[in-house]
């Protein structure tokens, strides 16, 4: 398309005098004295025809403000942890129970085979460049091989590699939801769901989990929240922050609700392989006959390398409900930042093939032992009622409200006893006594359990008196 230059002289009323376009003077048949359409709109000549263009405005002063997305973004866990500008008791070592990072205390290292796979990937010098936005084909196939099963088969095309499980969740919400839609999120639940959704203009509806039923979903409450704008149901299993594990029957009941209302599921299954002996929990996709599922997972927890930022989305859509549009949408969204670290991608197949089963068994045994000790110690503290976990890295504790109880007592606990934990928004009234729930990541050093018990006991005895 050819565009020619033009010159327009204007006064306060519009275009005055004569206007020259392509060396010709326009009279009242072109641009009149009052301006085009009486508005003084500038025109551009394109192949002999005049088209209006908007004149540029000039700002009179600097005014740079954060976007609505930035203003609407809040991660409450990070806000609490990063915002506690306190000076804890200097006479006590910190017991940090606020973040589910298995590497904090140094006694849950990853396996040597995992490290060797990374070293080999680096030494090969094959993975120093940009990977495809959805990940290397062989790396995606390696993930598919691990998580495929007869009930829910997977191929490389069903896998999107991401920068950690958090980006997987971000992409899944982004591809399924529009501003004004709503999603259903567990309460208590992982705070990132709300952080991401609200920043996108998506409403978050909280469905209750039942502590007296080991944090199973209140199915009636969940179903009552669904409406025509519900675009996604989020299921976290095993649970962060509850440490609960849903059995097959309960998962099937959840799927029936989703099926009745034709709502797809985002399954956060980052802890899917971290279930204690005696419990079992199949993947949601293996039980679904019709509900399409985006399952989010990653290396962070099972392989104890959260800093490596390797996650994935598994697309389960046996009835082709997602079709090509959701898959293409995920590809487009993944192109925004070009996905996961190429070196970790290069190491994936070797990590999966060479990590010994004894490493996984040892990790689970360690976490189960810690949870039992933590449960026993906390159970003996007046006013505290822990709920025994069945997996993951967390234990939920009910804190009885009494006369000296403050809603921000976790700050006092950090300040005076140097124990850092995270409060939840879950609180119930039982036999006339209000109970609040806090979540703790199970301490990783055996010597910390007794210290945690002693400090919590003294703190609870204080607020009871």
First and final C-alpha spacing in the chain: 83
Question: Among residues of the chain, what percentage have pLDDT more than 70?
Answer: 70
For residue 135, give its domain range: 112-354
> Do 202 and 301 belong to one domain?
yes
- Does residue 30 belong to any structural domain of this protein? yes
Which residues lie across from 24 on neighbouring strands?
A: 21
Quick one: which of 441, 428, 363 has its CA closest to 399?
428
pLDDT score recorded for residue 57: 72
Do 22 and 142 share a domain, yes or no? no
Last residue of one domain, picked from the residues 332, 354, 376: 354
Provide the β-strand partners of residue 319. none
Instruction: Give the pLDDT band (50/70/90) at residue 394.
Output: confident
Q: How many domains does the chain have?
A: 3
Question: Partners of 387 in the beta sheet?
Answer: 396
pLDDT at residue number 439: 53
Determine the Cα angle at 151 with ends 184 and 311, to 5°.
55
Give the 3-state secondary structure of residue 132: coil
78 in a domain, yes or no? no
Higher-confidence position of 342 and 106: 342
Residue 77 domain-assigned?
no
Q: Are residues 279 and 366 in the same domain?
A: no
Task: Report DSSP state, residue 56.
Answer: P
Flag whether 75 is in a domain. Answer: no
Q: Is 380 helix (H, G, I), strand (E, B) or coil?
A: coil
Domain match, 94 and 129 both: no
List, for residues 71-127, the tens digit of each pLDDT value: 888 776 555 555 555 555 566 665 555 566 788 778 789 999 999 999 999 999 999
> Minimal CA–CA distance to 224: which of 177, 184, 188?
184
265: closest CA among 317, 191, 202?
317
Asked if residues 273 and 146 have their Cβ atoms less than 8 Å apart, the reply is no
3, pLDDT greater than 60: no
Please check the confidence at residue 430 and state whether its pLDDT lies above 60: no
Question: Tens digits of per-residue pLDDT, 39-77?
Answer: 556 666 677 777 776 666 778 899 899 998 888 887 765
431 confidence band (pLDDT: 50, 70, 90): very low
Contact 261, 223 (CB under 8 A): yes
> Domain check: are 252 and 389 in the same one?
no
The pLDDT value given to residue 40: 57
Can you give the pLDDT at residue 398?
82
DSSP 172-225: HHHHH--TT-EEEEEES--THHHHHHHHTT-EEEEEEEEGGGTTEE-HHHHHHT
Contacts of 159 (CB under 8 A, 6+ apart): 134, 135, 140, 141, 143, 144, 312, 313, 314, 315
Give the CA distances from residue 417 to residues 91, 122, 379, 409, in Å, rounded to whole numbers and listed in that order. Answer: 9, 44, 18, 11
> 174: pLDDT confidence band, cut at 50, 70 and 90?
very high
From the DSSP assignment, how many helices (H) and strands (E) are in the chain? 13, 21
Are 37 and 151 contained in the same domain? Answer: no
**Phi and psi based region of residue 228 (left: phi greater than 0; alpha: psi -120 to 50; beta: remaining):** alpha
Last residue within a domain, chosen from 298, 332, 354 = 354
Distance CA 17, CA 11 (A): 9
Model confidence at 178: pLDDT above 60:
yes
Contact 143, 313 (CB under 8 A): no
pLDDT for 189 beyond 80: yes
Which pairing describes strands 422-430 and 433-441: parallel, antiparallel, or unpaired?
antiparallel
Which structure tokens are listed for 416? Answer: 């005076």
Cis peptide before 188, with omega less than 30 degrees from 0?
yes
User: Taking residues 400-420, what's their average pLDDT?
Assistant: 50
Q: Is residue 222 part of a domain?
A: yes
The span from the CA of 354 to the CA of 203, in Å, is 43
Q: Tell me, what's the pLDDT at 37?
A: 52
Round the average pLDDT of the chain to a whole number and report it: 81
Q: Is residue 69 part of a domain?
A: no
Given a cut of 80, whether residue 159 has pLDDT beyond it is yes
Residue ending a domain, among 328, 354, 380, is: 354
Q: Is 164 left (phi over 0), alpha (psi -120 to 50) or beta?
A: left
384-387 β-sheet, strand order: 384-387, 394-400, 433-441, 422-430
403: in domain: yes
Say yes or no: 235 and 278 in one domain: yes
Q: What is the CATH number of the domain that holds 341?
A: 3.40.640.10
What local confidence, expressed as pLDDT, does residue 90 receive? 63
**pLDDT of 338:** 84
Within the chain, what is the greatest distance between any pair of CA atoms?
Answer: 95
**Chain segment 432-464, per-residue pLDDT in tens:** 434 455 655 554 554 554 554 454 444 333 333
The pTM assigned to this predicted structure is: 0.79
Cα–Cα distances in angstroms (integers) from residue 299 to residues 152, 347, 439, in the given order: 20, 11, 23
One domain, residues 438 and 386:
yes
State the DSSP code for 275: B
Q: Check whether 328 has a pLDDT greater than 60.
A: yes
Assign 151 a pLDDT band (cuts: 50, 70, 90).
very high
pLDDT at residue number 80: 54
User: Which tens digits make up the pLDDT trace of 358-371?
Assistant: 999 999 999 999 88
Least confident range from 208-222, 225-239, 355-369, 419-433: namely: 419-433
Query: Quick one: pLDDT band at residue 9, thresholds 50, 70, 90?
Result: very low
- The torsion angles phi and psi of 198, rounded to 5 degrees, stand at -60, -35
Classified as helix, coil or strand, 15 is strand
Residues 331-341 have a mean pLDDT of 93
- For residues 344 and 383, state if they share a domain: no
pLDDT for 13: 47
Identify whether the C-beta of residue 400 lies closer than 8 Å to the C-beta of residue 385.
yes
Q: Same domain, yes or no, for 326 and 372? A: no
Do residue 211 and residue 335 come from a single domain? yes
CB 417 within 8 A of CB 92: yes
If asked whether residues 375 and 425 sit together in one domain, one would say yes
User: Cα 57 vs. chain centroid, distance in angstroms?
Assistant: 41
Tokens of 68: 């609505």
Q: Residue 242 in contact with residue 267, Cβ under 8 Å?
A: no
């Amino acid at each position: 398309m050819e565009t020619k230059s033009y010159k327009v002289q204007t006064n306060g009323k519009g275009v005055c005098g004569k206007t020259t376009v392509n060396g010709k003077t326009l009279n009242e048949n072109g641009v009149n004295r009052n301006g085009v359409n009486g508005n003084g709109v500038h025109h551009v000549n394109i192949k002999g025809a005049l088209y209006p263009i908007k004149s540029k405005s000039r700002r009179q002063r600097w005014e740079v403000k954060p976007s609505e997305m930035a203003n609407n973004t809040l991660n409450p866990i990070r806000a609490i942890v990063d915002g506690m500008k306190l000076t804890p008791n200097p006479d006590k070592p910190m017991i940090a129970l606020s973040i589910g990072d298995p590497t904090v205390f140094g006694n849950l290292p990853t396996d040597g085979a995992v490290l060797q796979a990374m070293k080999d990937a680096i030494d090969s010098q094959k993975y120093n460049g940009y990977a495809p936005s959805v990940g290397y084909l062989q790396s995606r196939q390696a993930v598919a091989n691990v998580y495929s099963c007869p009930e829910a088969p997977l191929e490389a095309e069903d896998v999107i590699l991401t920068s950690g499980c958090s980006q997987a969740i971000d992409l899944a919400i982004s591809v399924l939801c529009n501003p004004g839609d709503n999603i259903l999120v567990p309460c208590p639940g992982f705070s990132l769901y709300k952080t991401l959704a609200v920043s996108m203009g998506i409403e978050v509806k909280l469905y209750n989990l039942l502590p007296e039923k080991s944090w199973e979903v209140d199915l009636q409450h969940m179903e009552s929240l669904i409406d025509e704008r519900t675009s996604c149901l989020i299921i976290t299993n095993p649970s962060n922050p509850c440490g609960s594990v849903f059995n097959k029957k309960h998962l099937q009941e959840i799927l029936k609700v989703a099926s009745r209302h034709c709502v797809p599921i985002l399954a956060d299954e980052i802890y899917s392989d971290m279930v204690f002996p005696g419990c079992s929990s199949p993947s949601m996709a293996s039980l679904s006959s019709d509900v399409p599922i985006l399952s989010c997972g990653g290396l962070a927890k099972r392989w104890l390398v959260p800093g490596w930022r390797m996650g994935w989305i598994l697309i389960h859509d046996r009835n082709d409900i997602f079709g090509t549009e959701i898959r293409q949408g995920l590809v487009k969204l993944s192109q925004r930042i070009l996905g996961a670290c190429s070196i970790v991608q290069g190491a994936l197949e070797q990590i999966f093939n060479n990590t010994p089963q004894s490493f996984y068994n040892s990790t689970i045994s360690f976490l189960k032992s810690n949870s039992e000790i933590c449960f026993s110690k906390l159970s003996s503290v007046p006013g505290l009622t822990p709920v025994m976990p069945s997996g993951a890295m967390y234990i939920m504790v009910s804190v009885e409200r009494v006369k000296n109880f403050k809603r921000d007592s976790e700050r006092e606990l950090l300040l005076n006893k140097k124990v850092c934990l995270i409060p939840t928004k879950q609180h119930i009234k039982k036999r006339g006594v209000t109970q609040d729930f806090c979540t703790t990541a199970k301490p990783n050093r055996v010597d910390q359990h007794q210290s945690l018990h002693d400090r919590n006991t003294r703190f609870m005895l204080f607020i009871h008196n």
